[in-house]
Amino acid sequence: MTQSTDENIIWLTQEAYDRLKAELEHLMGPVRAELSRRIAEAREEGDLRENGGYHAAKEEQGKTEAQIRKLQDMLRRARVGDTPPDDGIVEPGMKVTIRFEGEDETETFILGSRELLSLDSSVDIEVYSPDSPLGKAISGKRKGDTVTYTTPNGRAVTVEIVDTVPFGA
């Protein structure tokens, strides 16, 4: 479920790939057919300028077609791989907990692709790109390691890796 440093490739687990493919097939099949039926029925009612059902169905059709294009693009760029091992090493696909130097509270996020998680509204967690300054700094590090990285505004920030486990574990 992660994006590589090559912005054109999206790394997916087999489960994530299958879920996205099933969603695409559902949108292209039953959902498209239902929207076409609703639009045709609304057209038969006459004047389209004041036909709320027609306009609502057309708007929903536009959103559905945009989602279909997004899924097709993601699947076209997808490379299927295994879920990262639970070996304590930070890498894409891992849920990482860090503590900023001088603070008691921790922050937990997923190192991966934000666009994939945006498709699953049940997931309520921040996502950091492996290509972000923090993502680059912690990649390959282990639980207990402390790293310092430079933010885009030039400030040095130190974090401790408190925990790292595969997302979904």
Query: Based on the domain organization, do 44 and 99 belong to the same domain?
Result: no
The single residue listed with the structure tokens 């300054």 is 133
pLDDT single digits (tens) 13-41:
677 788 889 999 999 999 999 999 999 88
Q: Specify the CATH number for the domain of residue 11.
A: 1.10.287.180
Q: How many domains does the chain have?
A: 2
Q: What is the reported pLDDT for 151?
A: 92
Q: Specify the CATH number for the domain of residue 119.
A: 3.10.50.30
Query: Based on the domain organization, do 69 and 133 belong to the same domain?
Result: no
Residue 7: pLDDT above 70?
no
Residue 161: pLDDT above 90?
yes
pLDDT band with cut points at 50, 70 and 90 for residue 169: low
86 lies in a domain? no
- Boundaries of domain holding 156: 94-166
Query: Based on the domain organization, do 56 and 101 belong to the same domain?
Result: no
Last residue of a domain, one of 46, 81, 116: 81
Last residue of a domain, one of 81, 103, 118: 81
Integer Rg of the chain from CA? 21
> Token pair for residue 134?
């923090």
Residue 146: pLDDT above 70?
yes
CB 76 within 8 A of CB 20: no
